[in-house]
Amino acid sequence: MSAKRICLKSLVRFGLLGILALIVVFVYFTGISARLWNCHLQARERVIPFLKGAKLDQENQQENTTISNFNDDDLLIRLMQNSKMLEELFFYHLKNPKIELEERDLFKQLGLQLQQTIRVARMLYSDIEKLYSNAFREKQQELEKLNALAFSFISNSQNPSNCSSAKKLFCNVKHHCGLGCMMHHYSLCLFIALGTNRVMIWDLNQVTEYPGLQDAIKSPSHCQSSKEELASAPEWRSPQETEPTPSDAPIVKVTGYKNSVFAPNTVPSQFLPRIELVLADPLTWWTGQVMNYLFRLKESMSKEVEDFKTKTGFGHPIVGIHVRRTDKIKEANYQDLNSYMEYAINWYDQYVIRHGNVRRKIYLASDDPAIMEEAKSKYTNYQFIFGESACSDVYSRFTKNGLFGIVKDIFLLRGCDYVVLTMSSNIGRMIQEMRQTSLQDATFHFANLDYSYHANGGRDIVHEVLLYHNPLVHCDRKARRHTDGSCELTMKVGDRITNYPMMKRGTMLGGFNQRTNQVGMYPAFKVKTILVPESYPISMVENDVF
Ligand SMILES: *[C@@H]1O[C@H](CO)[C@@H](O)[C@H](O)[C@H]1NC(C)=O
Ligand SMILES: *[C@@H]1O[C@H](CO)[C@@H](O)[C@H](O)[C@H]1NC(C)=O
């Protein structure tokens, strides 16, 4: 690898960190202005129109050829220039407004400066993205190889040549919940099966909400067991429990959550050192491989999905939005369509900087029909492809139980260039997991509107502190639990924070500091995820074959 390449890579890395830091500064700064605005409600009305003007306008959309032709060296120089300008905007113009101005003019000036700042930040982000995608091209081959290796490990392990000598694990899911939730339950079994060298058997008749599921998705293994064998199988107990199941027991049953080391948010130790050089989030990558294997469509279902794509004109570029309503409103915070659309609009505004004007297509999946009408009437320059309404006239043997609707949403959203999801939703998490098995880094192609990513029945996600944090509002030592987001953790370098997914607010995360026993908020840019390697029975040989 040439010195220039290495330099470029570290610059990309540094650049991404830099922009994260700048965004945090920005959020912090606008936090201050927000407080100012609360005292001056009218002033707020004066500034916001200027910020709205920062949306990409005609003049920028014409800049097609010049920007997309920049090479890496041009980009680096532009990056430096624009970063410097951003710094100047923050630290000079925004922090030192001409306070002798009248209030009205002061806010007008602040509004104009913020608008300018947003434009520069956009350009900067666009350039960093381009540099990153240039550098990522080199990594794609390795990613392709690792995806293939992971798939063949899973597939070989589940399809032994001699079924009668293979040890089996019956996944006895007695829980009844939505499809995403059911699939996550099955995945917990597959993690254990892969870790303990067993073939997973399921009985999809247990999934009474989705009759027809077994006609839609492939079985994890060609091996089968008799009903009697499954029913009489002893319950599996992990080596962490007293009286663990002997590893040579021919068949075991897994009902409900098990205290297993083979669980979501671990990565096989054989893959970890390689995948962490390629992707930002190796934990979700491995879960994605497992989910992707479990959710392989049978030919007839696959064809229905492809037919639906053709019929509705699903094509690239396209942004996917998944709005989970009905039963989730009770569980998670309500998000209006506008909050999802802001990300989609921003993605297209960024996209046209590099690619020129395009038809702005959105795949909108929701269980709430009212949202389709709202989308059509409010966002007239967007072309929406809808789930339910568009497919109700399609004859399908999967339609009547809603299965086709959900499967189609999952596979179409998985194929979008960018998705806006909520991590409170099982389907949202599953899509994000499955997108990790593509040849992109899915982490940089999605927006999440609520909780942090997590996996029910998986390991807790633990963050290691990289930068000291001495907040303005400390979490009180006496009141140990502050789950309302009102105070921040004091953190030392090296502290370990157990992440509490539901506490997330934008770029502020919530969790438990294991050193101080305090619960509170902390900024995402000051921590990194601790990766947990686990020794799965995978033997890699030199030519990357199993
Ligand atoms: C498969 O395994 C069974 C049980 O261990 C054994 O009796 C049989 O000979 C094996 N078959 C083959 C083809 O190896
Ligand atoms: C941008 O450039 C591409 C490639 O040269 C071209 O195909 C496209 O039509 C251009 N778009 C606009 C809006 O000029």
Ordered domains of the chain (ranges, CATH) = 3-113 (no CATH), 147-292 (no CATH), 300-448 (3.40.50.11350), 462-533 (2.30.30.40)
What is the pLDDT at residue 121?
Answer: 87
Tell me how far apart the alpha carbons of residues 499 and 453 are, in angstroms, rounded to a whole number. 10
| Per-range mean pLDDT, top range of 242-246, 291-295, 323-327 | 291-295
Ligand in closest contact with the CA of 162? 1
Rounded Cα distance, 301 and 306, in Å = 9
Q: How confident is the model at residue 361 (pLDDT cuts 50, 70, 90)?
A: very high
Tally of CA atoms within 13 A in the half-sphere of 271 that contains its CB: 34
Q: Report the pLDDT value the prediction gives residue 32, as an integer from 0 to 100.
A: 46
429 band by pLDDT with thresholds 50, 70 and 90: very high
Q: Is the pLDDT of residue 194 over 90?
A: yes
With 0-12 / 13-18 / 19 or more C-beta atoms within 10 angstroms meaning exposed / middle / buried, residue 384 is middle
pLDDT higher than 80, residue 13: no
> What is the arithmetic mean of pLDDT over 477-498?
85
The 3-class secondary structure across 156-171, one letter per residue, is HHHCCCCHHHCCEEEE
Nearest CA to ligand 2 atom 4: 65
Q: What is the pLDDT of residue 523?
A: 95
Give distance in angstroms: CA of 161 to centre of ligand 1: 10
- What pLDDT, in 10s, does the model give residues 171-182? 999 888 889 999
The answer, yes or no, to whether residue 61 has pLDDT greater than 70, is no
Q: Which amino acid is at 40?
A: H
Question: Which is the closest atom of ligand 2 to the Cα of 68?
Answer: 2
Which ligand sits closest to the CA of 223?
A: 1
CB neighbour burial string for 140-162, b if at least 16 within 10 angstroms, e if fewer: eeebeebbebbeebbeebbebee
CB 294 within 8 A of CB 187: yes
Tell me which of 473 and 326 has the higher pLDDT. 473
- Dist. CA 400–CA 132, nearest whole Å: 45
**Ligand 2 pocket test, candidate residues 58, 59, 62, 65, most atoms within 8 A of CB:** 65
Mean pLDDT of all residues in 95-112? 75
Tell me: pLDDT of 295 over 60: yes
Q: Which ligand is nearest to the CA of 62?
A: 2
Confidence (pLDDT) at 113: 82
In whole angstroms, what is the distance from residue 87 CA to residue 340 CA?
Answer: 29
- Residue identifier of the C-alpha nearest atom 11 of ligand 1: 162
* Cβ-contact 511, 473 below 8 angstroms: no
pLDDT above 50 for 529: yes
Mean pLDDT over the full length of the chain: 84
Res 41: pLDDT = 55
Query: What digits encode the pLDDT tens for the residues 201-260?
Result: 999 988 888 888 999 999 999 999 998 999 899 999 998 888 899 888 999 999 988 889
Q: What is the pLDDT of residue 279?
A: 94
pTM for this predicted structure: 0.84
Could you tell me the sign of the dihedral formed by the alpha carbons of 174, 180, 185, 189, in that order?
A: positive
Which bound ligand lies closest to the C-alpha atom of 166? 1
- Whether residue 57 is predicted with pLDDT greater than 60 in this model: the reply is no
The average pLDDT across 85-101 equals: 75
CB contact at 8 A, 424 and 314: no
Residue from 175, 179, 187, 173 nearest 404 by CA: 179
Ligand 2 site, residue 357, Cβ cutoff 6 A? yes
Rg, Å, the chain Cα set: 25
Note the pLDDT of residue 368.
Answer: 79
Residue 268 has pLDDT above 50, yes or no: yes
User: In whole angstroms, what separates CA 472 from the centre of its chain?
Assistant: 30
pLDDT band at 10 (very low <50, low <70, confident <90, very high): low
Is 356 near ligand 2, meaning CB less than 6 Å away? Answer: yes
Ligand 2 contact, 516 CB (< 6 A): no
Give me the residues paired with residue 469 across strands. Answer: 491
Question: Widest CA span of the chain, in angstroms?
Answer: 86
End-to-end CA, the chain: 28
What is the residue with the minimal CA distance to atom 13 of ligand 1?
A: 162
Residue among 165, 168, 199, 251 to mutate when testing ligand 1 (max atoms within 8 A of CB): 165
Q: Write down the pLDDT at residue 81.
A: 83
pLDDT of residue 52: 58
- Of 399, 398, 371, nearest to 386 by C-alpha is 371
Determine the average pLDDT of the residues in 55-61: 47
Residue 469 has pLDDT above 90, yes or no: yes
pLDDT of 405 = 86
pLDDT tens-digit series, residues 62-73: 444 455 667 777
pLDDT at 170 over 90: yes
pLDDT tens for 122-142 read 888 888 888 898 899 989 999
Q: Give the nearest ligand 1 atom to 164 CA.
A: 2
Contacts (Cβ under 8 Å, ≥6 apart) of 13: none
Q: Tens of pLDDT along 510-527?
A: 999 999 999 999 999 999
Residue with CA nearest ligand 2 atom 6: 356
Which one of the ligands is nearest to 66 CA?
A: 2
Ligand 2 contact, 64 CB (< 6 A): yes
| Residue owning the nearest CA to atom 9 of ligand 2 | 356
Rounded to the nearest angstrom, the distance between the alpha carbon of 220 and the centre of ligand 1 is 21
Annotate 127-193 with DSSP letters as a single string.
HHHHHHHHHHHHHHHHHHHHHHHHHHHHHHHHS-S-GGGS-EEEE-------HHHHHHHHHHHHHHH
Return the sign of the alpha-carbon dihedral for residues 404, 410, 415, 421. Answer: positive
User: Which residue type does 81 have?
Assistant: Q
Q: Which residue has the higher pLDDT, 81 or 198?
A: 198
Q: What is the model's pLDDT at position 392?
A: 43
DSSP string computed for 337-391: HHHHHHHHHHHHHHHHHHH-----EEEEEES-THHHHHHHHH-TTSEEEESHHHH
CA of 202 to the centre of ligand 1 (A): 23
Distance CA 262, CA 265 (A): 9
* Separation between Cα atoms, residue 287 and residue 431, nearest integer Å: 11
- Consecutive H or E run containing 15: helix 3-39
**From the CB of 164, is ligand 1 less than 6 Å away?**
yes
